[in-house]
Amino acid sequence: MANNDSASAAARHGQEGLHETKSSRCVTETFTATHNFEVTDFSQLDGMGIGEFVSSSTFTVGGYDWNIRLCPDGLWKENQDAVVSVFLCFNLAEEKRRAWGIPSFIEKYKLRHFLYLNDDSLTIRCLLTVFKSRTEDANTTISVPPANLHQDLEHMLKDGKGVDVTFDVDGHLFHAHRCVLSARSPVFDAELFGPLNKNSAQPVKINDMDPTIFEGLLHFMYADSLPDSCNSDENTTMQHLLVAADRYGLERLRALCEAKPCQGIDVQTVATTLALAEQHNCERLKDACLRFIALRDVLGPIMETDGFRHLKESCPLILEEISEKTATFGRRRTSVQHL
C-alpha cells in the first residue's frame, strides 16, 4: 500500500512539472486593385450644387465594397464653387458608409484647360491597397502552395508527353493535346471532335497564319498568359495574335491583345489599327482610334499614311464615322472652351 501511494505521488509530481508551450502568429494579407472612374461631359455636371455628387460603380477590394464619389461643385460652401471634391467611400453595410477624400481635389480654373484637351472628360484613377490581419494557431497551420495548374500545363506542352494531334503551319509542325485545345476553344472543339473530324493521323493544316503566331496561340491556351514575344513595344505580333484569337474564339486573349494597341496609338499606326478593329469587331480599340483621330487634330497627317489608304480600301464606311466623330468632338471642344 505504501509503495502504491509513493508511485501515485511521484506521478502527480511529474504531471505538475510538465511545461506546455503553444504558439500563434499574426498573418497580414495585402489586396491591391485599381479602379478607373471616367466622368464624361463634365460641363453638364458643373453647377449641380454644393455637396451633390456622382458615383462610380461599386468595386470590391479585400472583401469590402468601395466606390468613388465626385462633387463637381465641391463639398463646402466656403469653397464658393471653385473646386472639385473627390472621396473614396467604404461601404460598411446597408446605408452605412465611411468616406476619406480630398475636399479641394482640383481648382476649377485649372480643370477647364484639361477638359478642353480631353473632350470634356476626366478619369479618376484609384489605386487601393487593403491590409487584413488575422491571428492563427501556429501549431496547426498548414501552408498551402499557390495554384500552379497553368505551369503544369505549360510544362506538359513543352514536354510533349501524351500529345495526340499535330498541326502543320507553313511547314512547321506543332504537337498538342486534343482535350486541352477542345476545352479552351469552341472552334478547336468543333474541328477536333465535331462530326467533320476524320480523326486522321495526318497533321492538321493551318492556313494563313505565321508559325510564331500559332506558337503564341498554343502558349496562351496552355499557360493562360501572353507569350514573351508580346512584351516588346512592337504591336505587330499583338495584332496578328488578336486575329488568331478572333479566329479561334478566345475572348480573353482577344481582350488582352486589344488592350495593348490602345496604349500605343500614334499617327503612323492609328489607321492600320482602326482597320484591324473594324474587321474583327473590337469596339474598345475602334473607339480609342476614333478618339485619337478626333481629339488631337491629326487627321491631315494620318491621311498621308499608307495605313489610311489601306483603310479607305478595306473599310470605306469607317470614313463616315471618322467624319461624324471629328465633328462631334469639335462641337464639344467649343462648348468647353466657353466654360
The string of pLDDT tens digits covering residues 188-223 is 999 999 876 766 678 999 999 999 999 999 999 999
Q: Is the pLDDT of residue 337 over 60?
A: no
pLDDT at site 120: 85
* Same domain membership, residue 309 and residue 217: no
18 lies in some domain = no
Look-up of cell digits 493521323: 201
Strand runs labelled E in 94-171:
96-107, 122-137, 165-169
* Same domain membership, residue 88 and residue 125: yes
Closest CA to 180 of 166, 196, 168, 163: 163
pLDDT at site 54: 94
140 lies in some domain = no
Q: Is the pLDDT of residue 165 over 60?
A: yes
83 lies in some domain = yes
Domain stop point among 84, 102, 134: 134
* Same domain membership, residue 320 and residue 240: no
pLDDT at site 141: 64
pLDDT at site 237: 85
pLDDT at site 36: 92
Q: Is the pLDDT of residue 93 over 70?
A: no
Least confident of 23-27, 35-39, 160-164, 294-298: 294-298
**Counting every residue, how long is the chain?**
339
Closest CA to 280 of 243, 329, 331: 243
Domain stop point among 233, 259, 285: 259
* Same domain membership, residue 245 and residue 175: yes
Give residue 331's pLDDT band: very low, low, confident or very high (50, 70, 90): low
**Residue predicted with more confidence, 138 or 129:** 129
Query: Can you spell out the DSSP letters for 167-234?
Result: EEETTEEEEE-HHHHHHH-HHHHHHHHSTT----SSPEEE-S--HHHHHHHHHHHHHSS--GGGSSS-
> Which secondary-structure segment (H or E) carries 37?
strand 24-39
* Same domain membership, residue 270 and residue 301: yes
Q: Is the pLDDT of residue 334 over 60?
A: no
CB 121 within 8 A of CB 40: yes
pLDDT at site 41: 87
* Same domain membership, residue 269 and residue 252: no
pLDDT at site 253: 94
CATH code for the domain in which residue 187 is found: 3.30.710.10
Look-up of cell digits 502552395: 145
Q: Could you tell me the residue range of the domain that residue 61 belongs to?
A: 24-134
322 lies in some domain = yes
Whole-number Cα distances in Å, 76 to 39, 45, 233, 314: 21, 17, 46, 55
* Same domain membership, residue 312 and residue 212: no
- Cβ contacts of residue 252 below 8 Å, gap of 6+? 224
Long-range CB contacts (within 8 A, 24+) of 233-238: 233/264, 235/260, 235/261, 235/264, 235/269, 235/273, 237/212, 237/213
**Residue predicted with more confidence, 174 or 195:** 174
Mean pLDDT of 119-143: 85
pLDDT at site 152: 94
Whole-number Cα distances in Å, 18 to 12, 55, 191, 205: 10, 62, 71, 75
CB 187 within 8 A of CB 248: yes
Percent of the chain with pLDDT over 90: 41
* Same domain membership, residue 240 and residue 198: yes
Q: What strand order describes the sheet that includes 165-169?
A: 172-176, 165-169, 204-206
Task: Give the whole-angstrom CA distance, residue 304 versus residue 291.
Answer: 19
Give residue 44's pLDDT band: very low, low, confident or very high (50, 70, 90): confident
CA atoms within 13 A on the CB side of 271: 22
pLDDT at site 23: 82
Number of domains in the chain: 3
Mean pLDDT of 128-141: 83
CATH code for the domain in which residue 330 is found: 1.25.40.420
Tens digits of per-residue pLDDT, 106-116?
Answer: 998 888 888 88
Indicate the average pLDDT of the chain: 84
* Same domain membership, residue 172 and residue 207: yes
Amino acid at 337: Q
CB 72 within 8 A of CB 54: yes
pLDDT at site 222: 96
Among 157-171, 234-248, 258-272, name the most confident range: 157-171
Residue 91 has what DSSP assignment?
E
Tens digits of per-residue pLDDT, 263-278?
Answer: 778 898 899 999 989 9
Mean pLDDT of 4-32: 70
* Same domain membership, residue 173 and residue 255: yes
**Residue predicted with more confidence, 305 or 95:** 305
Look-up of cell digits 509503495: 3
Q: Is the pLDDT of residue 231 over 70?
A: no
51 lies in some domain = yes
166 lies in some domain = yes
How many C-beta atoms lie closer than 10 Å to residue 72's C-beta? 23
pLDDT at site 233: 55
